[in-house]
């Protein structure tokens, strides 16, 4: 089942169960995907957003909410931080399992050998291959320095 179908099914279930908070978050996800569809049409790309792009959108939404929750905590607004965290939990249901540190390291080493990377100049190739294989499964902000260390 593709990501859009899973989201639609989850929205219907949330409506039937009268889960207002879950429904609200699912509608936010749907709106973000539709925004991306519209932007792609503006760029002349028809066909809509694929599952890889949906995973990217979801990852971005999680990161935004993590930053917001941190800001709310620093500002003493714990109820708002908790709301952001509950949205994160709902969004993460649609993301693949995140790789842990050792799994990420093994994936990086495997891709480096697959693309034949030898120096820091090959970092773009390595990151591109990682993004195509592991979108939504790893934090590329943390992976970049790891790749740099292994190639440097």
Instruction: Show the tokens assigned to 140.
Output: 């590329």
Other CB atoms within 10 Å distance of the CB of residue 24: 13
More confident of the two residues 147 and 136: 147
The pLDDT tens digits for 63-122 are 899 999 999 999 999 999 999 999 999 999 998 888 888 888 898 889 988 888 888 888
Provide the pLDDT for residue 7. Answer: 92
Please indicate, yes or no, whether the overall pTM of this predicted structure exceeds 0.85: no
pLDDT tens sequence across 2-56: 888 999 999 999 999 999 999 999 999 999 999 998 888 888 777 677 887 888 8
Count Cβ neighbours within 10 Å for each residue of 65-103 and write b for 16 or more, e otherwise: beebbeebeeeeeeeebebbeebbebbbebbeeebeeee
Say whether pLDDT at 1 is over 70: no
Q: Which has the closest alpha carbon to 5: 47, 46, 63, 54?
A: 54
pLDDT of residue 133 exceeding 90, the answer is no
In order of start, what are the domains of the chain with their CATH numbers? 3-92 (1.10.1510.10), 101-151 (1.10.10.410)
């Amino acid at each position: 089942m593709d990501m859009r179908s899973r989201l639609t099914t989850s929205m219907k279930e949330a409506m039937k169960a009268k889960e207002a908070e879950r429904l609200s978050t699912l509608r936010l996800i749907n709106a973000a995907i539709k925004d991306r569809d519209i932007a792609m049409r503006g760029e002349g790309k028809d066909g809509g957003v694929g599952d890889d792009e949906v995973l990217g959108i979801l990852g971005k939404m999680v990161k935004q909410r993590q930053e917001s929750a941190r800001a709310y905590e620093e500002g003493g607004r714990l109820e708002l931080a908790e709301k952001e965290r509950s949205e994160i939990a709902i969004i993460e249901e649609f993301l693949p399992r995140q790789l842990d540190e050792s799994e990420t390291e093994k994936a990086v080493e495997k891709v480096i050998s697959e693309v034949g990377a030898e120096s820091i100049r090959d970092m773009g190739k390595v990151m591109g291959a990682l993004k195509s294989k592991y979108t939504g499964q790893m934090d590329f902000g943390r992976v970049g320095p790891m790749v740099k260390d292994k190639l440097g």
